[in-house]
Amino acid sequence: MIFFRRDASPAIAEQMSKYGEAINLSIASAQTVYTIAEDAKAFIQRLEKSTTPEEIRQFLTGLANLAQEGLATTEKTLAAFKEVRTTIISVSPDRPQDVSGH
């Protein structure tokens, strides 16, 4: 955990807003991963019943598209958190007491 003084600079305050945006992206990533898991579960259940090759192909295409979308969102999330952390550390008048967490 990183601790800063209450009288943080405007640059740090701006990063707090960006941090909130990064949190929203992480929520979107989690929702996508959840959807992928639910779809995979449904797919397995469908395979237990009679499923045509065309249905399987359509489902796998949709699942692959969703996975690609989730990967893109996750990459944006990671970049957003890294940017906020780097900027906060660089503009902080005092170095953070603890910079663990990469």
Instruction: Report pLDDT for 101.
Output: 52
Q: List pLDDT tens digits, range 41-84.
A: 888 887 777 778 888 888 889 888 988 988 888 888 888 888 88
Distance between CA 22 and CA 77 in Å, rounded?
A: 6
Q: Is residue 100 part of a domain?
A: no
Q: Is residue 59 part of a domain?
A: yes
Torsion region of 52: left, alpha or beta (phi above 0 gives left; psi -120 to 50 gives alpha): beta
Range of the domain at 55: 11-88
The domain total for the chain is 1
CATH code of the domain covering residue 25:
1.10.287
Q: Is residue 56 part of a domain?
A: yes
Instruction: Report pLDDT for 51.
Output: 76
Q: Is residue 58 part of a domain?
A: yes
